[in-house]
Every structure is written in structure tokens, then in C-alpha cells.
Amino acid sequence: MKGSNCRPATAMRKKDAEQFAPRFRASRWGAAPAICLSMSLMLYGAYSADSSPSEVEIKAAFVLNFVRLVKWDVVAGEANPSELAICTLGNSDFASALQRVAGGKGIGTRSIVVRVNPNPDVLRCRVLVVDASQYPIARPILRDIRTAPVLTIGNGPGLLAIGGMFELLVEDHRVQFDASLEAIQRAGLDVSARLLQLSRNLRKGPNAGL
């Protein structure tokens, strides 16, 4: 499925932020432009006129929008229902960008926190973000949480093949993403259809990597 065409991953100044909106045919994806536009507005106020968000910061804005397009039910035994924890397996530039862009933001009545957790589970992490360098160690973790309502997002191609739900990509100087409907449904997550419509490639079958 062809989808996201959000503007470039590099060289976007504050005055160019409005150009971060997608080039969409509104007649086909009526609600889609608002999703990418909200990402541009998040970045709009965060930089001076002469500064530019990095690729990982734009990807972090995508993650925040993904989180906001999921219906989050409280899980019995959840460590802190007033928080929505985004976990990373380790420190990385992407993890730091997530902290800057998403940390402290709100989703419903919850406050988003970003923390490192090398052993994530649904009671402590509702979102797991994996940097490409961590994919080799992520496979058994994704297998353990595959039926838990944990949103899994990778920075780079390859996460869907080992059981993840979303992977962020750069193609033609644009940040885009692929999604696995099978992984989302297996976890029982209620993800907005608007978000899935924006995916570059929506995979509906099972992943061989599991």
C-alpha cells in the first residue's frame, strides 16, 4: 500500500515546517494529511529559525504520533497506569531523540515517559522502540511479548521480519514506514485505520521470522 510522503528527513528549518505536511491526494486519504501535519507542528516550535531537526528527531515525532493513534486500555497489574512508558533496549541517538520529542507529553490521562529497559514486559512498557543495531537481541524479546498489547517500532528495515509492528524508513529523502497488520492484531492493539492507511507497505500475512 502506498502511503506516507512526509517531507525530508533532513534540512528542515522552522520556517519550512509547514512543508513537512504530506503530498496527498485528499480525495483518497481524506484524514491522512492531518497526521503528518501534526508531526510538523510538534517540530515547529522546538527549533530556532536557523536550526533543523535531525533524521532521528523526525522519526521520534513519528513514534509520538503512532502512540497517539492507539487506544490504550489499562492492563491489570500495570506498574503505573498514570504513565505510558516508551522503552528502549539501550541508549542510542534515537533513544535520546525520543526523550526530547516525546518525554513528558500526554496521551489521554497518561504522561509519556521514555526509559531504557533491556527486559521489557507489558506491565512496565506499553511501547518498545528498537534501534536497528539492537535487532539481533530483539528477536527473543519480541517473541516473548508477541501476544501482549505492546506497540513495537523499529528504526530501520528488518523489525517486521522478526515480529515487530512498525519500522521507520527513509526513502527518496522522506521518512516513511511499513507496518504488519498481523503483528498488531496478534497483540490485540486497537490502532487507528488512518495510521495503517499511511503505511508504505501494509503486510497482512505472518512473519517468517517468528
Q: Is residue 131 part of a domain?
A: yes
The mean per-residue pLDDT over the stretch 173-183 comes to 94
| Residue 139: band (very low, low, confident or very high) from pLDDT cuts 50, 70, 90 | very high
Q: List the domain range (segments joined by +) for residue 103.
A: 54-203
Domain assignment present for 62 = yes
- For the domain that residue 73 is a member of, what is the CATH number? 3.40.50
77 in a structural domain: yes
Burial class (CB in 10 A: 0-12, 13-18, 19+), 51: exposed
Whether this prediction's pTM lies above 0.95 is answered by no
Residues 6 or more apart whose CB falls under 8 angstroms from that of 7 comprise 19, 20, 21, 22, 40, 174
CA-based nearest residue to 120, from 112, 109, 129: 129
Stronger pLDDT, 146 or 10, i.e. the higher one: 146
Q: What is the pLDDT of residues 56-109, one digit of tens each?
A: 999 999 999 999 999 999 999 999 999 999 999 999 999 999 999 999 999 999
Residue 128: is its pLDDT beyond 90? yes
Whether 183 contacts 138, CB under 8 Å:
no
Q: How many domains does the chain have?
A: 1
The verdict on residue 38 lying in a domain is no
20 in a structural domain: no
Residue 63 lies in a domain: yes
What's the pLDDT score for residue 51? 64
User: Cell numbers at residue 178, please?
Assistant: 511499513
Residue linked to cell 530556532: 48
Confirm whether 122 is domain-assigned: yes
pLDDT of residue 33: 43
